[in-house]
Structure 1
Amino acid sequence: MADHHGTRCDLAWGPASLPSFATPHESCDMTTLAVDKFDSVGACFLAQAGRAPHAPAFRAPNETDTGWLTLTWSETARRATDLAAGLLALGVLAEDRVAIAGSTRLEWILADLAIALAGAATTTVYPSTNAEGVGYILADAGAVVVFAEDRDQLAKIRASETAVRHVVLFDGDADAADDSVLTLAQLALLGRRHLREDADAVVKSVRAVGRDQLATIIYTSGTTGRPKGVELTHANWLYLGAAVASEDVVRPDHVQFLWLPLSHVFGKLLLAAQYETGFVTAVDGRIDRIVDNLPIIRPTFMAAAPRVFEKIHARVVSMVTAQGGMRKALFDWAIAVGVDAVRRRSAGRATVLQRMQLFVADRLVFARIRRGFGGRIEYLVSGSAALSPQIAEWFAAIGLAINEGYGLTETTGAAFVNRPGDIRIGTVGQPFPGTEVRIADDGEIMLRGPGIMRGYHGLPEQTAEVIDADGWFATGDIGEVDADGFLKITDRKKDLVKTSGGKFIAPALIESAVVATCPLVSQAVVVADGRNFVSILLTIDPEVRGDLPDDAVSTAVEQAITEVNCRLNRWETIKQYRILPRDLTVESGELTPSLKVKRAVVLRNYAETIEGIYSDQAGALR
């Protein structure tokens, strides 16, 4: 193997001792927490609450959805402590699995904190998971309690045969005839009663948690096969939180807009960074409210999957195109100036004229676009899938740099990231301190460090297949590391396909290029494995398309494919395309909840369409 080692250093996990932290309750004036070591997510959170008890921690829509409420760190800790004590009263023990089946919202975070403070382990369940999938996850994890968003989630739980003893609802009333179902308020009340009897109950739970204790099981959404439960320890989360803080990627004065699914490791990672650093998070997981929320929240940073950045790009471009005339001409000129500036800065050869042009472009065009994001964004963060270099360049051009990172659920969500002010577009940045990387002979990326999972839940043989005796984790991704430690991802190892002519194709690179080149395209899926030429399946974004007729759509798609083909090797060029009748969705099983395409499902669902492509030996573009 060819070795490429990232920086190694010992990270500070926090203060040697946590400051005392007071939690008011109905039954007592003060419960003081003091622990000797910084050994758990719960202790990390309480340490932050002790450092800045009156500072804002979370903002969220109020119960009537007419405004936003703010919770300070001490208020958040009080609510989480009440819920943690309630879990202890229900008989939850150390490392017991407690599941959360709900969307991204403040209650999800409070439940997760309560589980950590009780010494249990969070098991995440996407709210879109069907009843069969919910049953599988709860049974495989052995969950004893579930926080469920509403009665729809409760119905899925009841339809499964599991060891679940209690369900706690975020929304809806408890069933008087079934004492196994509680509301969140009832669990908190139960907790306060428990603390009147044992004021140190939560204190003792936090003190008992060890660094290597199970903190979370996250089931990989899986593009193929049954999901596997990735076991992440408190040490894993503490490492990532400290690693992010050590890089000055986030600061205490930052405001984060968090809408990513918290059932995904990316969302959970951002919470770990918050507990370490102390910034404010505004949380609202409703995708249809993102645009409306941005000018209200006015975040300083926001993370998203590449698909979101693609949609923002497509919407801006399509709106300007529809306006036409001088506005479009000015916009096109400004983007060209911005992209040129990005490339010149990267090469270290910016000129005075170029800086003057950029100033004018920023005043006339870019500043207006940034105001739509609230006007305070310092940078954006992209993860969970590959970001098209063209999209990254476009955002950098308008003054909204995207820090693309890389990681897997098995690496606690992140292992590499581009740092603010040191971005190399087309790469996922450099490794976090303490993470090592090497490239195997076949190009596979191997990682080792404190962020690597404990293993797959109940699957020792599958764990041994990906983590060797020396602790190296085989990511399944192909890539290369440059002399400065920046990693470039080529493709998923299992996604590399070979044409009938023996040529290897990296589908993701072609797909992202088409999506970035044609704003109309929502999703792209390359077909080439065992075929004599490359074809591509496309879906059209209905919001971007508007009233555009079919012939105009076809013309735009063909122009984009022709442009992309000019940048590809001869054997990679797209010979035919088909536009699918609808977009890919999570509900149809064609996308994972983190918006990754399930390639095998798409190819199976449109097998007849694909066969039609290859029965036409003419290979004409259409």
Structure 2
Amino acid sequence: MVKVKFDTLPNLVHSVCQHYLDTKVAFRYKANGSWLDLYYNELWEKIENFALGLLSLGFKRNDRIALISENRLEWLFSDVAISLIGAITVPIFPTTSAKQIEFILNDCSAYGIVVSNQFQLNKIYQVHSNIPSLRHFIVFDKVSEGNFDLSIKSFEEVSQIGRTSKDQVRRQEIVQSLLNSLKPEDICTLIYTSGTTGNPKGVVLTHNNIVSNVEASGKTINFGERDVFLSYLPWCHAYEHTVLYAAFSRGATIAIAESIDAISLNIKEIKPTLMTTVPRLLEIIRKRINAQMAKESALKRKIFDWACKIGKKYVEEKISKKPSFITAKKYEVANNLVFSKIRAKFGVEDMRFVSGGAPLHPDVNYFFWALGYKVYEGYGLTEASPVVSVTREDDVEIGTVGKPLENVEVKITEDGEILVRGPNVMRGYWNDTQATSEAIDEDGWLYTGDIGYITERGNLKITDRKKYIFVTSGGKN
């Protein structure tokens, strides 16, 4: 496994890329119906070119640069390049309305914006005249500039500027100077919360916030070089953002799913060993399996129901470390008759899920464990970078969200609210000292607004939320 030390996000990516160079695939992505590979040396070259291009355009430290795009390689190139020059990434969901984008860009005084395509650019056309700080517009795809007086550059144009701006020796000197100048306490990203009860608040996350959570999460989830991580949740969300870099930091190959609708196909093609998900996707998968079984004969339905019952009992005994010989033998039969056939349809024999973003119903969790796919529940919030706790492989307690990460403290107040403290806790809310002081006390404890308790086995159980947020199968809340 790769062993590198890092204290900022660009240093993390650079160290891993230098470790592997052209010996291992970093990312897999689909283009024109075929899966293509991107090696680590190619990845860093793309990041470096775009970063130098941004510098040539006049971007500087602490400039806020918004990033609005679906998951694609250019998103990652941009995210790391922006951090590399000391600027601050402001990731925004591609489903965000023009009016919401206008608020966010004005709130953070964004100097530039990077978008994926014409659809996203059209939203900027609608509001750009109301955003006085906005000076630069960069687009991944080829677009029509229309009749607007905007200086639009393509991602490739900016990268070409960076590619040809300096000779190789000078380029390396500049990049190394940039890497050395970054500090753990520098702001890395500014992520705006959903704003369901008003305007969204900008969560200020430093490099130390991010990399401390990346390191602890990667260790707890136990990513490895042989893992293939299929990513479909939006990278602009703190959850997938952190787990993406956690997988990367430990040498896992990352495959970018085409879309939520193509997940089943992509699983068969990629054969991932691990996926992050929200409960809604697992619920949909289970419902589809149940719907398919409803079309079968009465005998097959009876066998399926029996297998699910035995499977749940087997899982209960296994995780309580009190396996029964008789139950184990019955499960062997259930696996041969039912579960192995379902896995064959998935196209992958062994896979792990890390579920977060909303509560996972225990019945759904038991079903996947019985099926042969391990599901680990996690808990977090953007203000905590975001991972607070995750189920441990050797200490599964279904219905809980596991133990806190090794560098995170959790305590419960008298009224049951969950408090969190650690290097992952945000610096505060952007330009909102009052909201910051209400969220974080003088001892560094973050008030989550969630209610829960610690079980006898030391796992965290969420029992209520002060505000309920529905999370879709695509990870949007």
One fold, TM greater than 0.5?
A: yes
The answer on 1:150 being equivalent to 2:117 is yes
1:15-94 matches, cutoff 5 A: 15=4, 38-54=6-22, 55-62=24-31, 65-94=32-61
SS in structure 2 of the partner of residue 323 of structure 1? coil
The answer on 1:192 being equivalent to 2:168 is no
Deviation track 1:518-563 (CA, whole Å, cap 9, x = no partner) reads xxxxx9xxxxxxxxxxxxxxxxxxxxxxxxxxxxxxxxxxxxxxxx
The answer on 1:227 being equivalent to 2:197 is no
Cα distance in structure 1, aligned partners of 2:327 and 2:412: 39
Aligned twin of 2:70: 103
User: Which of residues 231, 243, 255 in structure 2 aligns to 1:270?
Assistant: 243
Aligned twin of 2:403: 430
The Cα RMSD (Å) is 2.1
Aligned twin of 1:380: 353
Equivalenced residue count is 469
Deviation track 1:235-287 (CA, whole Å, cap 9, x = no partner) reads 01110121023335211210000010111111101222023211110012511
SS in structure 1 of the partner of residue 444 of structure 2? coil
C-alpha displacement of 1:116: 1.9
Cα distance in structure 1, aligned partners of 2:286 and 2:84: 41
Q: Structure 2 vs 1, CA of residues 395 and 15 (structure 1 numbering), >3 Å: closer, same or farther? A: closer
1:463-502 matches, cutoff 5 A: 463-494=436-467
Asked if structure 2 preserves the Cα contact closer than 8 Å seen for 1:103 and 1:149, the reply is yes
Cα distance in structure 2, aligned partners of 1:56 and 1:372: 27
Asked if structure 1 preserves the Cα contact closer than 8 Å seen for 2:220 and 2:390, the reply is no
SS in structure 2 of the partner of residue 469 of structure 1? coil
C-alpha displacement of 1:330: 1.6
User: Which of residues 571, 586, 594 in structure 1 aligns to 2:475?
Assistant: 594
Deviation track 1:348-403 (CA, whole Å, cap 9, x = no partner) reads 33222211111111122112222343314331110111111111111111111210
**Counterpart amino acid of residue 594 in structure 1:** G
1:236-275 matches, cutoff 5 A: 236-247=209-220, 249-275=222-248
Asked if structure 2 preserves the Cα contact closer than 8 Å seen for 1:223 and 1:592, the reply is no
The answer on 1:168 being equivalent to 2:138 is yes
Cα distance in structure 2, aligned partners of 1:318 and 1:333: 16
**Counterpart amino acid of residue 432 in structure 1:** L
Asked if structure 1 preserves the Cα contact closer than 8 Å seen for 2:260 and 2:473, the reply is no
Asked if structure 2 preserves the Cα contact closer than 8 Å seen for 1:174 and 1:183, the reply is no
Q: Structure 2 vs 1, CA of residues 266 and 338 (structure 1 numbering), >3 Å: closer, same or farther? A: same
Cα distance in structure 2, aligned partners of 1:80 and 1:256: 21
Q: What percent identity do the matched residue pairs reach?
A: 35
Aligned twin of 1:202: 175
Deviation track 1:73-126 (CA, whole Å, cap 9, x = no partner) reads 111011111111111111111121111111112221121121122221110111
SS in structure 1 of the partner of residue 166 of structure 2? helix
SS in structure 2 of the partner of residue 415 of structure 1? strand
Cα distance in structure 2, aligned partners of 1:68 and 1:202: 31
Q: Structure 2 vs 1, CA of residues 472 and 170 (structure 1 numbering), >3 Å: closer, same or farther? A: same
SS in structure 2 of the partner of residue 134 of structure 1? helix
Structure 2: give runs of 5+ residues left out of the alignment: none
Cα distance in structure 2, aligned partners of 1:165 and 1:158: 13
Q: Structure 2 vs 1, CA of residues 222 and 386 (structure 1 numbering), >3 Å: closer, same or farther? A: farther
Asked if structure 2 preserves the Cα contact closer than 8 Å seen for 1:84 and 1:118, the reply is yes
User: Which of residues 289, 293, 302 in structure 1 aligns to 2:266?
Assistant: 293
User: Which of residues 320, 333, 340 in structure 2 aligns to 1:360?
Assistant: 333
Aligned twin of 1:548: none
Asked if structure 1 preserves the Cα contact closer than 8 Å seen for 2:218 and 2:243, the reply is no
Cα distance in structure 1, aligned partners of 2:346 and 2:377: 18
The answer on 1:318 being equivalent to 2:291 is yes
C-alpha displacement of 1:188: 0.8
Asked if structure 1 preserves the Cα contact closer than 8 Å seen for 2:451 and 2:463, the reply is yes
Asked if structure 2 preserves the Cα contact closer than 8 Å seen for 1:299 and 1:374, the reply is no
Aligned twin of 2:105: 138
Q: For the pair shown, which has the larger CA radius of gyration, 1 or 2?
A: 1
**Counterpart amino acid of residue 160 in structure 2:** L
C-alpha displacement of 1:428: 0.1
Cα distance in structure 2, aligned partners of 1:202 and 1:179: 30
**Counterpart amino acid of residue 408 in structure 1:** L
1:413-424 matches, cutoff 5 A: 413-424=386-397
Structure 1: give runs of 5+ residues left out of the alignment: 1-12, 17-37, 496-507, 509-522, 524-585, 597-622
The answer on 1:346 being equivalent to 2:302 is no
Cα distance in structure 1, aligned partners of 2:217 and 2:327: 34
Aligned twin of 1:449: 422
1:208-219 matches, cutoff 5 A: 208-219=181-192
**Counterpart amino acid of residue 207 in structure 1:** N
Cα distance in structure 2, aligned partners of 1:275 and 1:210: 21
Cα distance in structure 1, aligned partners of 2:344 and 2:329: 21
SS in structure 1 of the partner of residue 415 of structure 2? coil
Asked if structure 2 preserves the Cα contact closer than 8 Å seen for 1:45 and 1:276, the reply is yes
Q: Structure 2 vs 1, CA of residues 227 and 14 (structure 1 numbering), >3 Å: closer, same or farther? A: farther
**Counterpart amino acid of residue 305 in structure 1:** V
Cα distance in structure 1, aligned partners of 2:457 and 2:211: 26
C-alpha displacement of 1:49: 0.8
Q: Structure 2 vs 1, CA of residues 59 and 164 (structure 1 numbering), >3 Å: closer, same or farther? A: same
Aligned twin of 2:379: 406
C-alpha displacement of 1:494: 4.3
